[in-house]
Structure 1
Amino acid sequence: MATIKPFKAVRPFPEKAQDVAALPYDVYNREEAAIAARGKLDSFLRVDRPETTLDPRIKINDPFVYETARKNLEKLFHRNALTQDTNDCLYIYELVMDGRSQVGLVVCTAIDEYLDNTIKKHELTRADKEEDRIKHVDACNANTGPIFLTYRAQDAINEMIGTWQKEHEPVYDFISEDGITHRAWVVDDEAVINGLVEKFGDVKSLYIADGHHRSASAVKVGLMRREANPNYTGDEEFNYFLSVLFPDEQLYIMDYNRVVKDLNGLSVEVFLDTLSEKFDIEARGAEPVKPPQKGSFGLYVDGKWYLLTVKEGVYDPTDPVNSLDVAILQNNILVPILGIGDIRTDKRIDFVGGIRGLKELERRANDDMALAFSMYPTSIEELMNIADADLLMPPKSTWFEPKLRSGLFIHNLD
C-alpha cells in the first residue's frame, strides 16, 4: 500500500505564483538557466540553480553555490513572494497542454517506501548528480523540487479530486511562458484529506515517472538526518519527501531523441550499409522523419533523412527491456557500430527531448554533432511493467510533458 502524508507547504502568494514558478533545474544547462533567470528576482531558478546568480567562473559544485541556494530561498520570503501554510494540507495541481489536462495530488511520500520498493524505479542514477542534489536539499533544509510519480488510476481517487476542483476555486491559475496552464487547489478539509489518504492505501505501488536523482537524493538526506537524530520517531518531516502523484491514464510521454558526435570513423555509405544488416532503410530526403510505430526510427545524417525499420528476429519481443526502441537502438547501432561506451556518461552522445522538435535534431547534427535519431515514444505501460519486474530501462528512455514547475510547493524538512 502507498502512504501519502499532508504537509504545511511553503508556496507563493497567489499574485506571485507565475513569477516564482520555474521549469525543473535539470532541463537547462548552465548558460540556458542563467538566461532564463536573468532579471527575474522571484524566479525559483535562483534557488534550484543558484549558480545563475554567481560569477560564471565559480564551479557548480562549489560549497558557496549551495549556501547561495539557501540565501536565495530566504530572499523569496523577504520579498514577500513565499509563505507557509499553518495547517497540514494536500494540494491539487493541474497542468493543461494543447487542451489535454493532467491532474495530480501534491503530497509527501515516505522514504521507507522508496527503500522497500513500494515506490518503484526504472532508471539508474549517477553519483555526481545525486551528490549535487543531496547538498542542495541539505543546504536548503527542504525538498525544493517535486518528484513526478504515477500510479494505476483508481476511479474513487479521480472522483474525490474532481469533486474538490468543481466545488472550490483554485489558488493559482496562470499560463506560463510556454503556453502551459497551471492551476492549484488547497485541500484543507480534514475529512477529505483522510479520505484520500485512505484511498491511496489501496494503491499497491507508486512509480517514479521523472525525478530519479531528486528522489534518491531526498531519501539519502532523510537517512542522514536519521543518523544525526538516533531517537527519531519516524514522524519527522525528514522521513518524507515532496511528490506529485498522477494517474497513469492522464500522462503523455514524448520521444526522447539522440544525437551523436561522429560516425566512429565510418563513411556515410559504409554506415548505411552496416545498418542494412538489421534495418530496412528508406531514404526520405529533406523530409523530417517522425517514426510511425514501435520498431521504427528516423535517422538524419549528411543533410538527409532516412526511415529505419528493425527487421524481424533482431530482438526478442518478449523481453521487456531489450524490446524497447531505446534498447534496440542502443544494442544494435549506438554501441556496436558507433562505439558509444557508457550511454550515461559518454561525451559523444547527447539526448534531446521531443518537445524541442525534429528541427532541433537537424540543427544539432549540422552544428556540433554529426547524426541524429528520432525515436518512437516509450509507453507508460512499458515503464510500469519494467518497474514491476524490478528491471531498469536504458538511460533517457522517457520525456514527460508538460513539466512540473518548481517553486509552487516546497516541503521543509523540519
Structure 2
Amino acid sequence: MAKILPFKAVKPTRDKVSLVASRSYQSYTQAEREARLDYNPFSFLHIVNPGYKYAKEISGEARYQLVKNRYLEFKEDAVFKKDDASSFYIYKVVDRDKQVFNGIVAAASVEDYQNDIIKKHEDTIVSREVIFKDYLKTVGFNAEPVLLTYPDNKAINTIINEIQEQRAEFEFTTTYRDTHYLWQIDNQKHIKTISNAFANMPTLYIADGHHRSASSQLLCKELKTENKNHKGNEAYNFFMSFLIPESQLRIHEFNRLVKDLNGYTKEEFLIQLDTIYRIENRGIMPYKPSKSHHFSMYLDGEFYSLYLRKTHYKFKTSLEELDAQLLYQTVLKPILGITDLRNDNRIDYLSGKKDIVNLKSKIDSGEFKVGFGMVPATIEQMKQIADDGLKMPPKSTYIEPKLRSGVTIYEF
C-alpha cells in the first residue's frame, strides 16, 4: 500500500559531514548564523543563505537561483558526492538526554500523499506551499526530509539492528551534543524486505513537514503537466522522507503566549475563565499540568491551574478533545478574541521542550501578558485526528527527532 523507494543520495564526504550539517535556518540566532557563515566555509547555511556572500538580502527567484549555484559549487568542489547505487539510509540520533531515534531515509510517494495513504493532521497555508514549490522547482533538490511515522515493524527493526552492527558511514556530534549516525543500505535483499514491509502498511502519518510534502505535491503536478513523456517514475513523483517507528517518536507541546487580555482587567479575565474552568492560584512556584484538559497559566507574576469543568463542555470530535483546540475554543477565541491562530500577532508559541521558566521570563519581561501551558498530544490523538480527516491548530506539536540539513540530499 505505501510505496517507499531507495534513491541515490547526494551526501557530504565523510571528512566534511560534521562541517556541512546544519539545523534549519530559522533555528539559529543572527549571531549564530553569522559565526557559522564567517568561519565555516562548508556549512550548508552557505547554500540556503547565498546572499551572505554579497552582504545583501536576496529574495524570490533571484535567491532560489543563487541557492542552486551554491549547491552546484559544493558538488564541483567535491564537498558533495552522489552515491552510485540506489539505497535506503539508516539514520540514528542519540540526543543529549540519551534518547535514541532510529529511522530510514527513503523516497516517499506523492501519489500516496494525494490518495491519503500518507495522512496529514495539520493545515497548511497555500501561499507558503506555492513559495516552497517555486523554490524546489528552481533548486532541484530536497535537503530536509519530511518526518513520517509507521507502526513498529519486526522485519524493519531486524535489518536496522543488523546494519548497525557495522561501522557507520557517518558519525558526528553537534554543538547541541546530539550524535548523528548514518548507514547506507544498498543490499538488494534488504531493500526488498524494507520495501515489502512498507507495502503491507495501509497508512503512514506525517509527523513533521506538512508544508514540505504539500509543496512536493504541487511541484509534481506542475512538472507532470510540463513533461509530455511523463511516466510516473520520475524523481519528482517522490519526496525525501525520514520514516521512524511510532514508539520512537517524541511529541512535545507548544505553550501559548498572549500579549494582552483583550481589554479585560486581571480580575475580569479570571471571572470569565471561571465559567469553564476550576481555577487555583499556585503562587510563585512553577506549575505544569499533568493531565489532558488541565492547563497551567502564568499571569501577573503568579501561576494558576485550570481544570476543565466537564459538565459545561462536551466533546463531539477527536479534534475537540485535543488540548490545543480546547484552549482555542474556550479561551483564546471567545475571551481573548484571537480567531486566526496563524496570523494574529497577539499570540506566539514556545516549545514545551523548554522549561516552564522560559514562559515565565517572557511574561515577566513585559513582552506578553499571559501564558498557557499544556500536556503534549499523544501519537494516538494525532493519528485519530488524521484518520477522521480533521486538522490540528497550528503549533499543536513539537516533534523529535530533528535531523540536520545537508546530510542526505534528494535530487529531482
TM-score, normalised by the number of residues in structure 1? 0.94
Query: Does 2:10 align with 1:10?
Result: yes
Q: Secondary structure at the match of 1:108?
A: strand
Give 1:160's aligned amino acid. I
Shift of residue 51, structure 1, vs aligned partner: 5.4
**SS state at 2:343 partner:** coil
CA positional deviation for 1:36 = 5.8
Matches within 5 A, 1:203-242: 203-242=201-240
Residue identity matched to 2:140: N
Report SS of the residue matched to 1:15: coil
Cα offsets for 1:340-364 (capped at 9, x unmatched):
0211111111111123322221232
What is the CA deviation profile of residues 306-347 of structure 1, one whole-angstrom value per residue up to 9, with x for unaligned ones? Answer: 111111234434621001110110000000011002111111
| Residues 157/318 of structure 1: CA separation in 2 closer, same or farther (3 Å cut) | farther
- Match in the other structure for 1:133: 132
Q: 1:325 to 1:28 in 2, by over 3 A?
A: farther
Residues 61 and 135 of structure 2 are in contact (CA less than 8 Å); yes or no, is this contact kept in structure 1? no
Deviates more, 1:123-132 or 1:29-38: 29-38
Change (3 A) 1:81 1:287: farther
| 1:12-91 equivalent positions in 2, closer than 5 A | 12-27=12-27, 33=33, 37-50=37-50, 55=55, 58=57, 61-91=59-89
Matched, 1:380 2:379: yes
Question: What is the aligned counterpart of 2:328 among 330, 336, 357?
Answer: 330
Question: What pairs up with 1:175-190 in 2 under 5 angstroms?
Answer: 175-190=173-188
**Secondary structure class of the residue paired with 2:16:** helix
| Letter paired with 1:397 | S
1:4-43 per-residue CA deviation (whole Å, 9 max, x = no partner) reads: 1010001111121111111234545778755664533222
CA distance 1:271–1:35, change in 2 (3 Å): farther
Q: Deviations over 1:110-149 (max 9, x none)?
A: 1111111111001111123223321221121111210000
Report what 1:107 is aligned to.
106
Q: For residues 35 and 370 of structure 1, what CA distance do their matches in structure 2 show?
A: 34
User: What is the alpha-carbon distance in structure 1 between the residues aligned to residue 38 and residue 346 of structure 2?
Assistant: 30
**Residue in 1 that maps onto 2:155:** 156
1:165 & 1:100 partners in 2: Cα distance? 17
In 1, distance between residues paired with 2:72 and 2:212? 21
Q: In structure 1, how many angstroms separate the alpha carbons of the residues matched to 2:391 and 2:145?
A: 22
Q: CA RMSD in A?
A: 1.9
SS for the counterpart of 1:272 is helix
Counterpart of 1:255, as a letter, is: E
Residue in 2 aligned with 1:339?
A: 337
Q: Within 2, Cα distance between the matches of 1:400 and 1:159?
A: 25
1:246 maps to what in 2? 244
Match of 2:358?
360
Residue number in structure 1 paired with 2:291:
293
* Deviation at residue 103 of structure 1 after TM alignment: 0.6
After superposition, what is the alpha-carbon deviation per residue over 1:197-245, rounded to whole angstroms, capped at 9, x for unaligned? 1111111111100000111111211221111102211111111110010
Offset at residue 78 of structure 1 (A): 3.7
| Contact residue 107 and residue 243 of structure 1 kept, 8 A | yes
Q: Which runs of 5+ in 2 are unaligned?
A: none
Q: Percent identity?
A: 35
The whole-number CA distance in structure 2 between the counterparts of 1:278 and 1:54 is 56
CA contact (8 A) 1:256 1:354 kept: yes
Structure 1 residues 405 and 201, CA, compared in 2 at 3 Å: closer, same or farther? same
Residue 160 of structure 1, CA deviation:
1.9
Aligned to 1:338, the other structure's residue is in SS state: coil
Find the aligned partners of 2:54 and 2:116 in 1 and give their Cα distance. Answer: 39
The answer to which of 402-411 and 78-87 deviates more is 78-87
Aligned-partner SS, 1:356: coil
Gaps of 5+ in 1: none
Q: 1:289 offset after TM fit, Å?
A: 1.9
Say if 1:106 and 1:243, in contact at 8 Å, map to a contact too: yes
What's 2:143 paired with? 144
Structure 1 residues 314 and 139, CA, compared in 2 at 3 Å: closer, same or farther? farther
* Structure 2 letter corresponding to 1:68: L
- Give the direction of change, closer, same or farther, for the CA distance of 1:222–1:32 in structure 2 (3 Å limit): farther
Change (3 A) 1:114 1:32: farther
Alpha-carbon distance between aligned partners in 2 of 1:349 and 1:334, rounded to the nearest angstrom: 9
Aligned residue number for residue 399 of structure 1:
398
